[in-house]
């Protein structure tokens, strides 16, 4: 388990570093095409070869990491920023009509196949990275809302909350000051999982042409572009495909590792 965590952290950190590095430096400029040097296999000049327009694939992967991470971070951010307060609110008014409305509303969103709705949103509002973010973000809301409510409910029974209520703190203040810090570890673990799902969703949307538009690099679109080239230049498909696998694997391992460390229920089991 500890090894998994290390591998996961290392993989995730690698991609985040690559994405950060791309802001200041990439091996070559991906906005200039070099058709004469298209579909080259990996070499000293191009460590991961070139694509069908002669662009350096390593540079594309770095720029693509930026797109993927940005979309996933903002989407998870939307999910947390809206979902957690909703969940806390529902927990504070547990059993009331408000609780029912919030949670059934979440069920409603949850019931839709997320990718289909994401396609619908991008199809209606036009394909772009921003719409992809919104589409993925909306489906993160119920995940966090449910988890937050579930984790907050037992806390409301605890003595320290009772003490806070006796002191006259409002339920909103209690949620923010006492409940939230105690469920944050769970949220972080879930955030990591949602983050990897976000990366996958962004790749899927870009693959079908509904994510980031050219010339913005995107792993999913790299795969789509390489679709008919697999027979003559397999590396153009294998590299972005492998990258997505490694990134998602890394985040999942990291999430598992974080859960082992942060989730109080598991910690209790161990001792």
Partner 1 sequence: MYMITRLTATAGLALLGTTALAQTDITVAIQLEPPNLDPTSGAAQAIDSVLYSNVFEGLTRFMADGSVVPGLAQSWEISGDGLTYTFTLRPGVTFHDGTVMDAADVKFSLDRARAEDSTNAQKGLFADIAEVTVIDPQTVKVRLAQQNGAFLFNMAWGDAVIVAPESIETIATNPIGTGAFAFADWVQGDRLELTRNDAYWGTPPALEAATFRFIADPTAAFAAVMAEDVDVFVGYPAPENLPQFEADPRFQVLVGNTEGETILSTNNKMPPFDNPLVREALAHAIDRQAIIDGAMFGYGTPIGTHFAPHNPDYVDLLDTSPHDPDRARALLAEAGFAEGFTTTLKLPPPSYARRGGEIIAAQLREVGIQTEITNVEWAQWIEEVFTNKDFGLTIVSHTEPMDIGIYANPDYYFQYDNPDFQALMDRLNATTDPAARSDLMAQAQTIIAQDYVNGFLFQLAVPTVANAKINGLWTDQPTAAVDLTGVSWSE
Instruction: Establish if 234 lies at the interface with partner 1 (CB under 8 A).
Output: no
Q: Which is nearer to partner 1, 38 or 261 (CB)?
A: 38
**Residues between 194 and 213 that touch partner 1 (CB under 8 A):** 209, 213
Q: Which is nearer to partner 1, 116 or 231 (CB)?
A: 231
Instruction: Establish if 264 lies at the interface with partner 1 (CB under 8 A).
Output: no
**Residues between 17 and 76 that touch partner 1 (CB under 8 A):** 31-33, 35-36, 38, 52-54
Instruction: Establish if 228 lies at the interface with partner 1 (CB under 8 A).
Output: yes
Instruction: Establish if 227 lies at the interface with partner 1 (CB under 8 A).
Output: yes
The minimum distance between CB 46 and partner 1, in angstroms, equals 16
Distance CA 174, CA 225 (A): 52
The minimum distance between CB 217 and partner 1, in angstroms, equals 11
Instruction: Establish if 126 lies at the interface with partner 1 (CB under 8 A).
Output: yes
Q: Which is nearer to partner 1, 175 or 206 (CB)?
A: 206
The minimum distance between CB 177 and partner 1, in angstroms, equals 47
Is-contact 250 17, C-beta < 8 A?
Answer: no
Instruction: Establish if 111 lies at the interface with partner 1 (CB under 8 A).
Output: no
The minimum distance between CB 13 and partner 1, in angstroms, equals 32
Chain positions contacting partner 1, by CB under 8 A? 31-33, 35-36, 38, 52-54, 126-127, 209, 213-215, 227-229, 231-232
């Amino acid at each position: 388990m500890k090894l998994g965590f290390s591998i996961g952290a290392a993989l995730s950190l690698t991609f985040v570093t690559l994405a950060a590095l791309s802001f200041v430096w990439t091996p070559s400029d991906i906005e200039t095409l070099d058709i004469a040097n298209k579909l080259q296999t990996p070499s000293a000049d191009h460590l991961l070869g070139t694509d069908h327009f002669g662009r350096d694939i390593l540079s594309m992967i770095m720029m693509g990491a930026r797109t993927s991470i940005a979309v996933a971070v903002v989407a998870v951010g939307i999910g947390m920023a809206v979902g957690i307060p909703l969940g806390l609110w529902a927990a504070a008014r547990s059993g009331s009509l408000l609780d029912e409305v919030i949670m059934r509303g979440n069920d409603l969103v949850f019931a839709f196949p997320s990718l289909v709705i994401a396609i619908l949103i991008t199809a209606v509002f036009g394909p772009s990275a921003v719409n992809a973010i919104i589409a993925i973000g909306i489906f993160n809301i119920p995940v966090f809302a449910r988890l937050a409510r579930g984790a907050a409910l037992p806390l409301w029974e605890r003595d320290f909350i009772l003490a806070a209520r006796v002191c006259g703190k409002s339920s909103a203040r209690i949620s923010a000051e006492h409940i939230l810090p105690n469920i944050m570890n769970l949220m972080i673990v879930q955030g990591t999982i949602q983050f990897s799902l976000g990366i996958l969703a962004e790749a899927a949307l870009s693959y079908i042409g509904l994510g980031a538009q050219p010339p913005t690099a995107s792993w999913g679109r790299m795969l789509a572009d390489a679709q008919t080239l697999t027979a003559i230049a397999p590396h153009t498909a294998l590299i972005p495909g492998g990258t997505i696998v490694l990134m998602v694997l890394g985040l999942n391992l990291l999430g598992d590792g974080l859960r082992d460390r942060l989730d109080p229920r598991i910690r209790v089991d161990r001792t």
